[in-house]
Amino acid sequence: MSTTTIKQPSIQRLFLQLIKKDNLQHAYLFDGKTGTGKKETALWIAQSLFCQNFSDGPCGECHTCQRIASHQHPDVIELEPEGLSIKIGQVRGLKQEFTRSGMEGRKKLVMVKDVEKMTTQAANSLLKFLEEPDGDIVVILMTTAKHQLLPTILSRVQLIHFPQLSKEHRMQALEEAGLSKERASVLSQLTSDTEQALELSENENLTALIEAVWKWYVAFSKKDDQAFIYVHTDIMPLVKEKAEYHRVLDLFLVILQDILNTQLSKDYAVGYLKYQTRIQEEADRLSAVTLADLMDIILTGKKYLDSNVAAQGVFEMSALKMLAAMKRSL
């Protein structure tokens, strides 16, 4: 699977050697941010274990590999949250599968996505299996929040950390998918998940929102009191749901990070590539203290959004605070 090879080649090489030596552990925890290749790697391992033509990896073309890729192989079991959580009934159903030998062979592989979303009862039920495994089974747990897992689960798995992919790598993947360099640059800063970035690129309002947030920043830069009014006239008409509210503040953070990182390195690849010259000017003008104040205001706004405070109120409150911070700067 080429995506796995591109994303995490060192992890792929590790598992290739373990599989060749028949030395896989009973349970692994794949830890890393969204988009770092955890699921792709788990599927690659499944294909490697069951492939009819396995050599230096799965062929990817045999009937077995194709069934695994399409999530239709009976001995490769995938579990993920139903709604907001993984419930105990799901784990009990999984454990029933554990007690049966493989339908097409002696092996089974189980993948549990977002394991941190297990209820306490479900986590304790899974723990009992990890303590007393039964059969030729490999379990791969996946998480973006290792710190939320029970210590007893962490102690019974082999941790594999998936590092975040470089911005250059993410940009390349987006450009290869057909995005312009300017669009790929912004989206690679907005999310580390290439698939999510591609989904966002199809959002009809995204281009308008990217431009609107930039113009909002420019109003603050000019210490223009109209930045407060701008929330109502230009920002709110473009956003309708919680994810989009967060996107406004995330895009603002991209601008601030561009300015800060440009201060640290003249060669930094900015997200707002279209406005690179202006970002350099802002980097020369603003103090690190002012940038820190602005970032703190935006991050506080995100917390208020998480607490279900009305978005327009959050944006207006943030606007007033950012205007005050800019007016304090030289």
Per the CB < 8 A criterion, the answer to whether 137 and 109 are in contact is yes
pLDDT value for 137: 86
pLDDT in tens, 201-216: 888 889 899 999 999 9
Tokens of 9: 């080649």
With a cut of 70, list the residues of the chain below it in pLDDT. Answer: 1-6, 97-106, 133-134, 330
* pTM confidence score: 0.66
DSSP code for 165 = P
Per the CB < 8 A criterion, the answer to whether 34 and 143 are in contact is no
- The residues pairing with 142 across neighbouring beta strands, listed in sequence order, are 30
Per the CB < 8 A criterion, the answer to whether 192 and 31 are in contact is no
| Residue ranges with strand state E in 57-114 | 76-79, 108-112
